[in-house]
A and B are shown apart, each in its own frame.
Chain A
């Protein structure tokens, strides 16, 4: 099993809503990542979890809250988002930090 699974694939939310993005991997990887990607741009790193601990936060606004319940799961909790937060959110995992990343298909988020 070499997949990173993200749900939902599409999400539309208002600025006052609370929602969550979910990511799961069963490759035994110990590092998991959240990236944000705007159209026609490269992915931008948001958070890195290593051995279930947050190791990197790229100065992401607090309206984005990551959570790593266990080594296979990664969540991104969303609250009071802005329309400019609309983007493709990509989850990735790697066996170790700085190794090759395996990406999920992404969650397309639209904030109205």
Chain B
């Protein structure tokens, strides 16, 4: 069955430090992959997406992610974290042959310390 795993429930980084959030997926075909961010009490905002092509994708707010087929991973990175990046981050895989369903990972809560 298709699944998405975010191994880290909670990560704390210092402001200005680099960040990597991990995401592993299980899917039989080439997946559509997404990273969303959610601030408390808010909806989800798309950070970036991978459909095909270049495996390193750039997103908004200085984020990037790299699709590695051999590792079934789609990790999110940012070279220098800002306090405003504190939020919940969700990785998701799209099932294009099942009518638009997105499978979300459990989320990683990011805290940023001064």
Contact = CB atoms under 8 A, between A and B. Distances in A.
Interface string A30-48: 0101000000111101001
B104 interface: yes
Interface in B81-105: 90, 94-102, 104-105
Interface string A56-84: 10000000000000000000000000000
Q: Give the contact-size bracket for chain B.
A: 20 to 34
Given A103-B43, A108-B41, A42 B99 contact: no
Given A45-B102, A98-B99, A102-B46, 20 more contacts: A4-B43, A33-B100, A41-B106, A42-B107, A43-B44, A43-B104, A45-B101, A48-B100, A48-B101, A55-B99, A55-B100, A56-B100, A92-B44, A97-B96, A98-B98, A100-B49, A101-B102, A103-B36, A103-B45, A106-B42
23 contacts: A4-B43, A40-B107, A42-B104, A42-B105, A42-B106, A45-B101, A48-B100, A48-B101, A50-B99, A55-B100, A92-B44, A97-B96, A98-B96, A98-B97, A99-B100, A100-B46, A101-B34, A101-B44, A101-B46, A104-B43, A105-B42, A106-B41, A108-B41
